[in-house]
Amino acid sequence: AVVSTQSTGRDKEYAQRSPNYPVQDVWEVCGEAPATRYTWDMSQNTNLRESAPSNKARLRFDRLLLRGEDKIVPVSFELIGKEKLLSCDMFPSDHWGVLATFQIN
């Protein structure tokens, strides 16, 4: 099963997940590329700049979690929605979207 989450859980909290509930983070399985680490990146995303001009936080709130990795194998992980919409000069969201591809065995 693949579950998409948007949570306030931080990396340290996810690292402490229970071994009795073995889930994998798809970003980690796909190599932990630094360019795709932060899904909430106020240093690049200007949507909230007016309400919090000094906020430059970079966090990974949005995750894809995987269970049953013998049947579903992550192949790639990328961030989407990083281009501003021409109609309003804003990004689609204050979070980047996540897009992954999988091989189904």
pLDDT surpassing 80 at residue 15: no
pLDDT tens column, 53-103: 788 889 998 999 898 768 899 999 999 999 999 999 999 999 999 999 999
User: Looking at residues 4-31, what average pLDDT do you find?
Assistant: 76
The residue among 1 and 45 whose pLDDT is bigger is: 45
- Predicted pLDDT at 33: 97
3-state secondary structure of 58: strand
DSSP state for residue 36 in the 8-state scheme: G
The residue among 2 and 26 whose pLDDT is bigger is: 26
The Cα 102–Cα 93 span in angstroms is 25
The Cα 69–Cα 60 span in angstroms is 22
User: Looking at residues 39-66, what average pLDDT do you find?
Assistant: 89
List CB contacts of 35: < 8 A, sequence separation 6 or more.
79
Output the pTM of the full model: 0.83
